[in-house]
Amino acid sequence: MAEFATELTAITTIDQTEALVLGVESTDDGPVVVAAGLDENAVTGIQDQLEALGVKGKADEVTRIAGSTTGFDAKIVVLTGLGSTEAPAQGTPMLDNSPAGEISAEALRRAAGAATAKLAGTAEITMALPADSAARLTAIAEGAVLGTYSFAGYKTQQDNGEEDQTNGVDLKIVTELADADKLLARATAVARATFITRDLVNTAPSHLFPGTFAQEVEALVENSDVTATVYDEAALAEGGFGGLLGVGQGSSNPPRLVKLEYTPNNAKGHIALVGKGITFDTGGISLKPAGSMETMKSDMAGAATVAGVLHAVAELGLDVNVTGWLAMAENMPSGTGIKPSDILTIRGGTTVEVMNTDAEGRLVLADALVAATEENPDVVVDIATLTGAAMVALGVRTTGIMGAEDVRSELADAAATTGEIVVDIPIPEEARAGFDSNVADLKNTGERYGGMQGAAAFLREFVGDTPWAHLDIAGPSFNESSPRGYTAKDATGAMVRTLIEFVANRDN
């Protein structure tokens, strides 16, 4: 994984800088410059140029102008669109809990990220966006850092001679807040966790399979307060993890289960996080169409998210006991792979008839959920790129939350703070009946319709009475379209920020 080398600093006055970022809000009366800590006459000079520059202030709109034409001591002045504060269309959810009629924290997060994404190779960036509250400063800091992300991957040379923008960026934010340094430290930890998740998901499956994935996670937490335990195929067999062994038996790369433990003194509770880690999903013998396999290196995004969250929780020193369970397997078709009608025995003894080998994520999660609940945590949350049905129902930017009502509500509240888009979805009473089997306790497929809720109903069978919620991130975890705001192309790190907020809210 790439080294995280972005530095965040709070400043109260603006000195010379390489790039100065100002906001532009879209209003009924036209675009308006929104800035902090700047001379009013200089801002008026920029305002007078907006029409000639064609600046509208729309979200993700970024305009660069030479600093010499502005009166500011900057090589480049960047105008980044904040969008409109008008009420959203009827039925459209607010992206965060900012007051109506004000520039939201999420709008600032997105604008900051859009600006830094267009400043690749810039070593020093000053953000003069309105950072006059903890929520706003946090959002600007997170967005600005997340916008700098790039994954160099395996190219022997960079396209067009561009520099790697992830390294050596000095980000300064204008603010008068007394606790700015603390807020920026938190934003740095959250951004670092998101980068970790993005890097893992973006890694090629030739390089990241269960064994190497486990090694990467071990190395990640080696010098932290997180302890890693890796269960290899022998330990999985001894422990009765039939779901992981079954899904992984068709691959030459055997499965792994990684347990991460963060146990601070005087912990205020115990949260278990479970992540699906299918390092590549061909569908097994129930083979996917070729086009559906192109992004299947991302089928381990749930496990990558849990790894990133545990890293941040430890870095922030939160007083909550958090255990992560990363269920890793590679789903391949071969002479040793599981077949439709095979019977697997999940940890704890529940038998499952395999009807479709492409419904494999729920099998590895079942093992991990049983192991997690055996430790009697206060709550368990699993996160997975679980169903194509989630994308059909919710699109590619929205996470579905299912499970116990109080846990769903708690996660939705955390998402309202972080600006991530979620939908709270009950599991229909009839969903479980579709998994009845004539020869086993369950089968791994249910009714054709409502597949997202059906998969959640299957998982619910393995948590007992433990309060539980399931996050389906099949859509938002991987961005196949163009970058937007602070959201990069390919891996996004969806729900990393929300799960960190969820844990932090229990540290009260």
Enumerate the active-site residues. 288, 362
For residue 235, report the phi and psi dihedrals to the nearest 5 degrees.
-65, -35
Q: According to the annotation, is 276 in a ligand binding site?
A: yes
Q: How far apart are the first and last CA of the chain?
A: 33
How many CB atoms are located within 10 Å of the residue 58 CB? 13
Tokens 């269309």 correspond to 89
The Cα–Cα gap between 341 and 352 comes to 9
Q: According to the annotation, is 465 in a ligand binding site?
A: no
Tokens of 413: 């509240």
- The amino acid that residue 296 corresponds to is M
- The amino acid that residue 420 corresponds to is E
How remote is the C-alpha of 63 from its chain's centroid?
28
Tokens of 178: 């007394």
Q: According to the annotation, is 179 in a ligand binding site?
A: no
Pairing of strands 478-479, 468-472: unpaired
- The amino acid that residue 469 corresponds to is A
The Cα–Cα gap between 499 and 274 comes to 12
The Cα–Cα gap between 53 and 56 comes to 9
Q: According to the annotation, is 118 in a ligand binding site?
A: no
Q: What is the DSSP string of 397-444?
A: S-EEEEE-HHHHHHHHHHHHHHT--EEE-PPPGGGGGGG--SSSSEES
Q: At what angle do helices 180-202 and 301-316 cross, to 10 degrees?
A: 150
Strand partners, 479: 490
Number of alpha carbons in the 13 Å side-chain half-sphere of residue 488: 25
SS3 content of the chain, % helix, strand, coil (to 5): 35, 20, 40
The CA R_g of the chain, rounded to the nearest whole Å, is: 23
Q: According to the annotation, is 15 in a ligand binding site?
A: no
The Cα–Cα gap between 201 and 277 comes to 10
Task: Give the largest Cα separation in the chain, rounded.
Answer: 78
Binding residues for Mn(2+): 276, 281, 299, 358, 360
Binding residues: 276, 281, 299, 358, 360
